[in-house]
């Protein structure tokens, strides 16, 4: 039988409906109302009838991106996260209380491979970082979800396999004290005294400040809430005076020094986990004086663990090294044959 023009049988993803167990996501209900916002991707486990034959596209062959007519690649999982943070009006749920938004956001971030998560820094607009902080607050309504963490060092402290983690950070815009800091890196490391420390580093302006005045070290401790707002949180990075209670810090790190203003004025970064390797934070200048009113030091901060990116770069470097080594062996073999 001759098959006609090319056509694809698409299976449209149905909106998510409230799960039977709080915090879990279920998709196999009838779409009676609008659910979570979805990207334009549809399920690709489809049978395609093509001119001259029949083909099957397996989910294993599915690419992580869609190519637009302009040639631009749109990564679908990353787009799902952005769409959920900034949904079109027609995709806003009729009853937002019928599901746990933090559980859905966690699942969508988890779907993104570790090495691709830093792309979210490019895709998430500054104004959406504050939205991520708000959504992360729903984590604490689910006891199981509240125990999940984005970082091993932030969760265990005594992890023997990982002693150093780097986070790429970006702040949302705002006319605040240090709003000139748009992007920077944060290093978190474990010490031999069992304590977790960190420092702000990276970025053109931050590096200049750290090298000229202070490396901006801080202590990492568990926290229950933001002092100024009483909002729940997971971690507090307290800058203190900048002098660490240990001499055990990663090789190549500068010696601790006293913080310049405003970092010496009881600055604290409160952190919420929103997904594997992804956190969102708020920086507050709480002040040393009892009568001092706490104020925001900068706008909300998006933090993404760069461990996956580093592993990818190491793997790529190892692949290049092996290819050069193999090429050398082939040249040596050819030389031996002619000699």
Please check the confidence at residue 224 and state whether its pLDDT lies above 50. yes
CB 35 within 8 A of CB 12: no
Please check the confidence at residue 162 and state whether its pLDDT lies above 60. yes
Please check the confidence at residue 40 and state whether its pLDDT lies above 70. no
Percent of the chain with pLDDT over 70: 64
CB 169 within 8 A of CB 303: yes
The pLDDT value given to residue 92:
75
The pLDDT value given to residue 208:
67
Neighbours of 289 (CB within 10 A): 9
pLDDT band for position 335 (50/70/90)?
very low
pLDDT band for position 54 (50/70/90)?
very low
Q: Which residue has the higher pLDDT, 80 or 211?
A: 80
The pLDDT value given to residue 217:
93
The pLDDT value given to residue 176:
57
Q: Is the pTM of this model over 0.85?
A: no
Please check the confidence at residue 5 and state whether its pLDDT lies above 50. no
Please check the confidence at residue 338 and state whether its pLDDT lies above 90. no
Of the candidate ranges 60-74, 99-113, 235-249, the one whose mean pLDDT is the lowest:
60-74
Domain map of the chain by residue range? 100-305, 315-339
List the one residue out of 145, 48, 160 whose CA is nearest residue 100: 145
Q: Where are the beta strands (DSSP E) in 140-182?
A: 164-171
Burial class (CB in 10 A: 0-12, 13-18, 19+), 34: middle
pLDDT band for position 14 (50/70/90)?
very low
Residue tagged 């937002």 (tokens): 96
Please check the confidence at residue 269 and state whether its pLDDT lies above 90. yes
Q: Which residue has the higher pLDDT, 207 or 76?
A: 76
Helices 126-136, 101-111: inter-axial angle, 10-degree rounding: 120
The pLDDT value given to residue 272:
97
Highest mean pLDDT among 97-101, 108-112, 154-158, 286-290: 108-112
State mean pLDDT over 158-185.
74
């Amino acid at each position: 039988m001759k098959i006609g023009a090319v056509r694809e049988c698409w299976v449209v993803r149905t909106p998510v409906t409230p799960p039977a167990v709080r915090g879990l996501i279920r998709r196999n209900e009838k779409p009676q109302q609008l659910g979570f916002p979805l990207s334009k991707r549809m399920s690709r486990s489809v049978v395609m009838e093509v001119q001259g034959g029949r083909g099957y596209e397996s989910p294993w062959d599915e690419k992580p991106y869609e190519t637009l007519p302009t040639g631009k690649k749109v990564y679908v999982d990353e787009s799902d996260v952005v769409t959920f943070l900034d949904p079109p009006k027609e995709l806003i749920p009729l009853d937002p209380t019928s599901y746990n938004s933090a559980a859905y956001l966690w699942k969508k971030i988890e779907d993104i491979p570790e090495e691709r998560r830093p792309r979210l820094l490019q895709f998430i607009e500054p104004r959406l970082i504050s939205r991520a902080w708000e959504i992360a607050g729903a984590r604490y309504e689910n006891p199981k979800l509240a125990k999940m963490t984005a970082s091993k060092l932030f969760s265990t402290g005594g992890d023997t396999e990982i002693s150093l983690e780097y986070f790429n950070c970006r702040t949302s815009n705002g006319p605040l004290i240090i709003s000139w800091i748009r992007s920077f890196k944060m290093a978190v490391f474990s010490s031999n005294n069992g304590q977790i420390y960190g420092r702000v580093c990276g970025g053109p302006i931050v590096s200049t400040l750290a090298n000229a005045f202070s490396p901006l070290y801080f202590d990492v401790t568990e926290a229950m809430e933001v002092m100024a707002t009483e909002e729940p949180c997971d971690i507090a990075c307290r800058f203190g005076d900048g002098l660490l209670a240990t001499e055990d810090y990663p090789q190549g790190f500068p010696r601790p020094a006293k913080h310049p203003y405003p970092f010496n004025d009881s600055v604290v970064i409160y952190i919420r986990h929103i997904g594997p390797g992804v956190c969102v934070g708020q920086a507050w200048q709480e002040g040393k004086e009892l009568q001092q009113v706490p104020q925001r030091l900068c706008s909300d901060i998006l933090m993404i663990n760069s461990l996956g990116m580093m592993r990818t770069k190491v793997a790529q470097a190892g692949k290049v090294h092996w290819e050069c080594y193999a090429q050398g062996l082939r040249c040596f073999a050819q030389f031996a044959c002619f000699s």
